[in-house]
Amino acid sequence: MRFGDKETAMSLPHVERKESDDTHTVRVGDALFGSKEIVIISGPCAVESAEQVKQIAELALRTGTKVLRGGIFKPRTSPYSFQGLGRKAIEILRNAADEANLPIVSEVMDSSQVDEYESIIDMLQIGSRNMHNFSLLKRVGKSNRPVLLKRGMSATLEELLNAAEYIMNEGNDQVVLCERGIRTFNDFSRNTFDLTIIPKIKQVSKLPIIADPSHGTGDREMVIPVARAAIAAGADGVMIEVQYNPDKALSDSTQTLYPEQLVALVEDIRKIAPAVNREFK
Amino acid sequence: MRFGDKETAMSLPHVERKESDDTHTVRVGDALFGSKEIVIISGPCAVESAEQVKQIAELALRTGTKVLRGGIFKPRTSPYSFQGLGRKAIEILRNAADEANLPIVSEVMDSSQVDEYESIIDMLQIGSRNMHNFSLLKRVGKSNRPVLLKRGMSATLEELLNAAEYIMNEGNDQVVLCERGIRTFNDFSRNTFDLTIIPKIKQVSKLPIIADPSHGTGDREMVIPVARAAIAAGADGVMIEVQYNPDKALSDSTQTLYPEQLVALVEDIRKIAPAVNREFK
Amino acid sequence: MRFGDKETAMSLPHVERKESDDTHTVRVGDALFGSKEIVIISGPCAVESAEQVKQIAELALRTGTKVLRGGIFKPRTSPYSFQGLGRKAIEILRNAADEANLPIVSEVMDSSQVDEYESIIDMLQIGSRNMHNFSLLKRVGKSNRPVLLKRGMSATLEELLNAAEYIMNEGNDQVVLCERGIRTFNDFSRNTFDLTIIPKIKQVSKLPIIADPSHGTGDREMVIPVARAAIAAGADGVMIEVQYNPDKALSDSTQTLYPEQLVALVEDIRKIAPAVNREFK
Amino acid sequence: MRFGDKETAMSLPHVERKESDDTHTVRVGDALFGSKEIVIISGPCAVESAEQVKQIAELALRTGTKVLRGGIFKPRTSPYSFQGLGRKAIEILRNAADEANLPIVSEVMDSSQVDEYESIIDMLQIGSRNMHNFSLLKRVGKSNRPVLLKRGMSATLEELLNAAEYIMNEGNDQVVLCERGIRTFNDFSRNTFDLTIIPKIKQVSKLPIIADPSHGTGDREMVIPVARAAIAAGADGVMIEVQYNPDKALSDSTQTLYPEQLVALVEDIRKIAPAVNREFK
């Protein structure tokens, strides 16, 4: 397999695209990642209250969102920051999703959380900080739940694909990749959204890939143009943080869209999709 | 003026966008950078022969390209690599452009080249390696020619805007910015195209900005998706390397499009433009 | 607390240095990290055989090494690379260390490994790939074993210090930091050893910090000069990979020193230490 | 020639080290870069007044400094920042240096400055922002003055060596390289001093290399440990910004040493030099 200049010695039998391969599809509820249809995942950064999530689930339905996101455990830089509501959050999220008939995606941070929550969470998210946590990758590889694997903050293409290979080598082939920004010298945004990995993944791997412009930029004003760009570059979907009172959010407030911004973004995606031979209904 | 987290002490009276400002427009022939219409610049990396440029000028006309590009002096990492045809190249390029009634953009590498060629070149390009060459910036600031200012390989937003300020402070306000990829740890592409600077420039500056996905990726297969994405993110245009025999090009062969790829890209741009309230005729 | 330009909102009560603070010391066997004496940790990347480790333990004694290192579980990019001998390795390492009367440091990759091995391993190493694995950080924070916390490949100063804070906030204050190279655009070495974090840690934190020039450079020829430099910059010690047949090592062969190179390095450190008011006996 | 993983196609006949080669030496006054003796260059960032430079020249003599530095033209990010005193500065610097019988090194920013000042400046400095300014490199390659070539902010090893090759290919083989910090994600120092390039240059090239910890860190408190480390890693010298009233300096005030700090640093270097088989008298 070739990466940039060099032929890698590594074998990636599960993730590599051979010429005859179609993109691999992964189903989560009504969403089919890797199909012709663009998938939108939306929801709050962290689950904070039943009222909050209920409102967002209704917005999700209205905007064509196919998967509801919401953090129950939040990996935070400081041990003294809000760490998520945990068990209480999962109940809130599950109830709201069931009422709206939507599947949920939420992050798991270690094997014991997988044990406890894999029956409740429809799609298990591996956060960027855990992309190299091989014990966790192997554990979700033994789950029968689809996995959303976020790229590490400084992960190379080779490392991202090998992380997926760790999961798939354990038997679980329902893996969707997610670009969420990398660490560079740039200081005008929290991370540098690496758009170029989207077409590159399409070239070398059969796995679907989506974009997370919320974490990828850390700036509400940049989420919409970057989301549009990701679709134009061939992404299979986007994951968007949205909330009714983003300025009061307990985490990620500066990057969370207002509801009307999500509505506008969905309209943009509807227009761009046909230009890249995709659709969003 | 705010960049990311911090308030900068620097004053940028010429490039800064105040709330009431429209995007500043810059005219080069029929192209009007910063207007509603997307501008496409295309041509070979380096001028190699009259036949080569004549063919490309015809392709330019056919694809709606408004400005013809072509290197006459090539800044190359090694002193032993092909350095451009110089004076001979400028005649070839000027003749082909005149026949097609197109303006040309070409790089100047020092003040003496500006002295010698500013009467012949319609738009003076400052390459990324010279973005911090303040003597050259001041010299083109005294020219009456429009300037295409490429972002340095590791230039911050603040540095890019200040480079434009150096030019404008000398009296020349016809400046168009260009994103062409930054240095990061990524090893799957020659540079990392920083899509996010496009919406950021739109937010903080009134200058037009275009994208150079050819240098921004260094990989022909990624030029088309990245060009589409740049337009979707709000870029005012794209600059594309194209040639009839890219595999035989004396420089940048791996990133140069085949003519039919440019035709396809133009079709994509025509479809995406309306989704971002732009047009390409 | 100040980091570079900005005042951080984060509180770091355990790791922060107040003006009156001495460097915090951490004892592992005869080694006292943070004291006047430079500490050398050495050993093979991975435990491969009893014979290998026995030889290295003898070399350790001869060179004044105070802690023996050896990987029992190896976090590898590819799931198909050698992953360490696991349980078998720990017995080999423990036996050789006991015979030489040396403590051991070895990496743990998840909470269940801490449960199983904390009674056997004298100092628990958190690898760079797990620096953001907050579940694991909390778990070793409940251990009574000293912890060697390696900086993540793209961790900021703030993130490294907060990772230590996660551990100490659980009650374990025996934390030693370790710089092991960061991700940059550089392509002449595997990582870019960030020397500058050593004096910066001394300025803002009371925790000891050592250098790992083996992983920090990935190149045997650069290990010695970088190790010398780390001591000259104020590091409290170095961790060095060494083996009798490095070219046959199952992992990290290009960065592993030959025994005579370790002997030479130790001599250099003995000479440099007094220039920075330290000693190595 | 090998760089990291790859064999470069580029030929570097002038800078490459063949096995039989000694380090090339470059003489500037009494300083012999690349010899057994460590060379210290010191002086203010910018020449501000005759009194300032006179005091510093006396300090230079007292500390064993062999070359006096001082900026006459300052490449500044903003066109509205202090740009150096120009012609007036060169007279001040020359007079003070003559009185102290010291040679001077100062930056030239374009070919016309070389024309005007090469008879006055003993060693021509190419700043990091101009490392890719090939017109300027060729011009100093035609000078008979030694050149101090600073690494670009994001220059690879290959690019740095090729920049030197550009100079030497024009006939001037008196080139000294200088590491001054690179652009990375780090936010606790202005640049990330790349210590590792020092031993790497020693391995692949015969050119001398010195360190500029003042620009390399941007922080007075880190200049001393980083300078010590550079010597311990094999650097042929250091260039240090020093001034009597650094807090009132018109540029770079936060990184400029107080005179007594330079005195202390020189003592440290005297002690470390013998450990790496060098000397400082």
- The predicted structure's pLDDT at residue A8: 55
Residue reference for tokens 């060494």: C242
Helix (H) or strand (E) holding D123: strand D123-126
Point out the least confidently predicted range of B171-185, D19-33, D155-169: D19-33
Please give the ipTM for the structure prediction: 0.95
Nearest 5°: phi and psi at A78? -100, 140
Dig out the tokens for B186 from the structure. 């990524």
Give me the residue label for tokens 């440290």.
D268
Is the pLDDT assigned to residue B6 strictly greater than 70? no
- When pLDDT is cut at 50, 70 and 90, the band that residue D23 belongs to is confident
Which residue reads 């920042």 in tokens? Answer: D81
Residues of A with CB under 8 A from a CB of C: 10-11, 75-80, 109-113, 129-130, 132-136, 153-154, 158-159, 162, 165-166, 169, 183
What confidence tens digit (pLDDT) does each residue in B87-124 have?
Answer: 999 999 999 999 999 999 999 999 999 999 999 999 99
Inside any domain, residue B36 = yes
For the beta carbon of residue C159, count every other beta carbon within 10 angstroms.
17
In a domain, D260, yes or no: yes
Q: What is the value of pTM for the model shown?
A: 0.95
Q: What is the pLDDT of residues C136-175, one digit of tens each?
A: 999 999 999 999 999 999 999 999 999 999 999 999 999 9
Distances (CA, A) of D144 to B79, D14, D112, D149: 20, 17, 16, 15
Q: For residue D252, what pLDDT is reported?
A: 76
Q: Please report the pLDDT score of residue D26 as a whole number.
A: 98
Mean pLDDT of A54-66: 96
Using a pLDDT cut of 70, give the percent of chain A over it: 96
Q: Angle of helix A220-232 relative to helix B197-204, nearest 10 degrees?
A: 140
Write out the E strands in C190-243: 209-211, 237-241
Per-residue pLDDT tens digits for B131-173: 999 999 999 999 999 999 999 999 999 999 999 999 999 999 9
Return the residue in A5, A73, A78 with the most chain C beta carbons within 10 A, the one to mutate for interface testing: A78
C190 contacts in B (CB within 8 Å)? none
Give the containing element (helix H, strand E) for B149.
strand B147-150
Q: Give residue ranges of A with CB < 8 Å to any D CB.
A: 5-6, 154, 183-185, 187
**Rounded distance, CA C11 to CA B277, Å?**
46
Q: Give how far Cα A41 sits from Cα of A50, A69, A123, A178, A245, Å.
A: 19, 6, 11, 12, 19
Do B232 and A229 count as a contact with CB atoms less than 8 A apart? Answer: yes
B60, two tokens: 């330019």
Q: Which of D5, D6, D183 sits opposite A185 (nearest CB)?
A: D183
Residues of D in contact with B135 (CB under 8 A): 109-110, 112-113
Mean pLDDT in residue range B173-192: 96
Among positive and negative, which fits the CA dihedral B183, B184, B186, B187? positive
- Whether residue D140 contacts residue D114, with contact meaning beta carbons closer than 8 Å, is answered with yes
Can you tell me the distance from the alpha carbon of A140 to that of A107, in angstroms, rounded to the nearest whole number?
11
pLDDT of residue C19: 79
DSSP assignment string, B10-75: ---TTTBPPTTPPPP-EEETTEEETSSB-EEEEE-SB---HHHHHHHHHHHHHHT--EEE-BSS--
Number of residues assigned to chain B: 281
Q: Which of B184, B233, B271 is the closest to A275 by Cβ? A: B271
| Segment of B8-22, D92-106, D237-251 carrying the highest mean pLDDT | D92-106
C147/C143 Cα distance (integer angstroms) = 9
Q: Is residue D186 a contact partner of residue D192, using CB atoms and an 8 Å limit?
A: yes
> Is C11 a domain residue?
no
| Confidence category of residue D5, pLDDT binned at 50, 70, 90 | very low
Q: Which amino acid is at B180?
A: R
> Which of A241-250, B195-204, D232-241 is least confident?
A241-250
Closest partner residue to D162 (CB to CB) among B79, B110, B111 is B79
pLDDT exceeds cutoff 70 at D174: yes
To the nearest whole percent, how much of chain A has pLDDT over 90? 90
B229-268, pLDDT tens digit by residue? 999 999 999 999 999 988 888 877 899 999 999 999 999 9
Chains adjacent to C (≥3 CB pairs closer than 8 angstroms): A, B, D
D246, exposed or middle or buried, with CB in 10 Å at 0-12, 13-18, 19+? buried
Residues of C in contact with D275 (CB under 8 A): 228, 268, 271-272, 275
Least confident of A248-257, D73-82, D104-113, D179-188: A248-257
- Chain D residues lying within 8 Å of B134, measured CB to CB: 75-76, 79, 109, 129
Name every chain D residue with its beta carbon within 8 A of the beta carbon of B166. 79
Q: To the nearest whole number, what is the mean pLDDT of chain B?
A: 94
Strand partners, D241: D43
Distance (Å) from the C-alpha of residue C185 to the closest C-alpha of chain D?
Answer: 7
pLDDT tens string B266-277? 999 999 999 999
Q: Are B56 and B42 in contact (CB under 8 A)?
A: yes
Q: Which of A134, A195, A129 is nearest to A163 (CA)?
A: A134
Secondary structure of residue C99 in the 3-state scheme? helix
Q: What is the pLDDT of residues A149-198, one digit of tens each?
A: 999 999 999 999 999 999 999 999 999 999 999 999 999 999 999 999 99
Is position A276 within any domain?
Answer: no
Chain A residue nearest residue D185, CA to CA: A185
Residue C4 lies in a domain: no
Domain encompassing residue D237: 20-273
Q: What is the pLDDT of residue C142?
A: 98
Domain count across chain B:
1
CATH of the domain at D45: 3.20.20.70
Contact D240, D199 (CB under 8 A): no
H/E run at residue D121: none
A32 half-sphere exposure, CB direction, 13 A CA radius: 10
Mean of all residue pLDDT scores within chain D = 94
pLDDT digits (tens, 9 = 90+) for C25-60: 999 999 999 999 999 999 999 999 999 999 999 999
Q: Is residue D232 part of a domain?
A: yes
**Average pLDDT over chain A, rounded to whole?**
94
Kindly report the length of chain D.
281
For B58-76, how does the pLDDT look when each residue is reduced to its tens digit (9 = 90+)?
Answer: 999 999 999 999 999 999 9
Gap between the Cα atoms of D238 and D196, Å rounded: 15
Query: In the prediction, which pLDDT does C249 show?
Result: 80
C chain contacts of residue D7, beta-carbon cutoff 8 Å: none
More confident residue, A248 or A84: A84
Show residues of chain B in contact with D112, CB under 8 Å.
111, 135
Residue A107 in this model has a pLDDT that exceeds 50: yes
Examine residue C271 and state whether it is found in any structural domain, yes or no. yes
Region D37-46: what's the mean pLDDT? 96
Question: Is pLDDT above 60 for A237?
Answer: yes
Non-local CB neighbours of D80 within 8 Å, separated by 6+ positions? B10, B11, B169
Alpha-carbon separation of residue B139 from B109, B112, B127, B163, B169 (angstroms): 11, 9, 14, 12, 11
Instruction: Pick the residue from chain A with its C-alpha nearest to C168.
Output: A79
Q: Shortest CB distance from B162 goes to which of D77, D113, D136?
A: D77
> What percentage of chain C carries pLDDT values higher than 90?
90
B133 contact partners, CB below 8 Å, separation of at least 6: B110, B126, D109, D110, D129, D130, D133
pLDDT for residue D4 is more than 50: no
Mean pLDDT of A4-26: 78
In order, the DSSP letters of chain A are -EETTEE-----TTTBPPTTPPPP-EEETTEEETSSB-EEEEE-SB---HHHHHHHHHHHHHHT--EEE-BSS---SSTTS----THHHHHHHHHHHHHHT--EEEE--SHHHHHHHTTT-SEEEEPGGGTT-HHHHHHHHTSSS-EEEEPPTT--HHHHHHHHHHHHTTT---EEEEE--B--S--SSSSB--TTHHHHHHHHB-S-EEE-HHHHHS-HHHHHHHHHHHHHTT-SEEEEEB-SSGGG-SS-GGGPBPHHHHHHHHHHHHHHGGGGT-B--
Q: Is residue A219 part of a domain?
A: yes
